[in-house]
Amino acid sequence: MREALTRWCLDLQAHTGLSSIVLGGRRAWQETAVESKASDVDLYAFCGDGLYARMPRLADTLRGAGVRRVVRERSAFLELHYVLTDLPEIDLKVMRWSTVDAVLAAPPNLDELYLEKMHSLHHYRVIIDDSGDGLRRIDRAARRRPADLAALLPYAFESYVKHAWGVAKQGLRRGEPLVGSHLARRALDHLVLVEYLLNDTYPPPFKWRMHDAALAGLRRGDLIRSVATTLEFTPGLSLADHADGLRALEAEILADPGAAGIPGRSPDAWWWAP
């Protein structure tokens, strides 16, 4: 399958002039080789503004590429979906170099699109990069990683505290269970972000963040899965039960030595007694 995918990419390059094509960040080559045909392969192609504008027309005339089901114009990229006979379905996402550069120029932040793009830059597998532009940008992302993760950690923690404080104040003290439950889920999301950052990794895209394969790489991944499963699927749990589950998970995560220097971290967890 690896060879067939490479041939498809070379044909795509010859037809369009794309100079950089990489395999998406979710799976490595060897994982793709055994992946079920029911699963998409994510390919990313990068180009300048001029070629980007011509891509829909070029895609229409790409012979031998398989049956193209749909073209979607997204805010940051053009998405083309192909159904092939000898490969899994392919999601081809064509992105301008200017978009990648804008992500790399942005200060570290918790926006989901930013986190997704930075995670991808750290997990791309290069297939074609004739110009070297892709490798240069991947290297740039790798070099800024330590500083980025260090900057994101206090933001993720502060966001967790803000939502946990809302669970205690609005949900429990003021008796607003709907608001409290919504805030509790948001608090859990940010606590999971803290765990990924303490494990020295960019959080994966949101839809994969609680996947077994992603959690398996975390020091407290099994605990996160257990607590989240209990909170989401146990009938009749009260908001106080949710708060207790969050506090227990918080205690384990914040006991990590890497959390010792987080600004605002407090042994009395004042946010639970507003």
Q: What is the pTM of this model?
A: 0.89
Residue 99: name the closest of 75, 116, 81 by CA. Answer: 75
Q: What are phi and psi of 264, to 5 degrees?
A: 90, -10
111-120 long-range contacts, Cβ below 8 Å, gap at least 24?
Answer: 112/205, 112/206, 113/76, 115/202, 115/203, 115/205, 116/205, 116/206, 117/76, 118/148, 118/202, 119/25, 119/202, 119/203, 119/204, 119/205, 120/24, 120/25, 120/44
Residue with the bigger pLDDT between 195 and 11: it is 195
Provide mean pLDDT across the span 88-108. Answer: 91
Position 210 confidence tier, pLDDT thresholds 50, 70, 90 = very high
CATH number 3.30.460 given to 2-131: yes
pLDDT exceeds 80 at position 71:
no
Provide mean pLDDT across the span 147-174. Answer: 97
- Alpha-helical segments (H) within the chain: 2-16, 29-34, 49-60, 97-105, 112-121, 133-166, 177-198, 212-215, 221-233, 239-254
Are the C-beta atoms of 195 and 218 separated by less than 8 Å? yes
Domain ranges, ordered by start, for the chain: 2-131, 149-272
pLDDT exceeds 50 at position 4:
yes
pLDDT exceeds 80 at position 274:
no
Give 133-150 pLDDT, tens digit per residue. 999 999 999 999 999 999
pLDDT exceeds 70 at position 106:
yes
Position 66 confidence tier, pLDDT thresholds 50, 70, 90 = low
Residue 39 pLDDT: 65
Residue with the bigger pLDDT between 159 and 15: it is 159
Query: What is the token pair recorded at 58?
Result: 């070029």
Position 69 confidence tier, pLDDT thresholds 50, 70, 90 = low
Residue 67 pLDDT: 57
Position 151 confidence tier, pLDDT thresholds 50, 70, 90 = very high
Q: Which amino acid, one-letter code, is at 100?
A: V
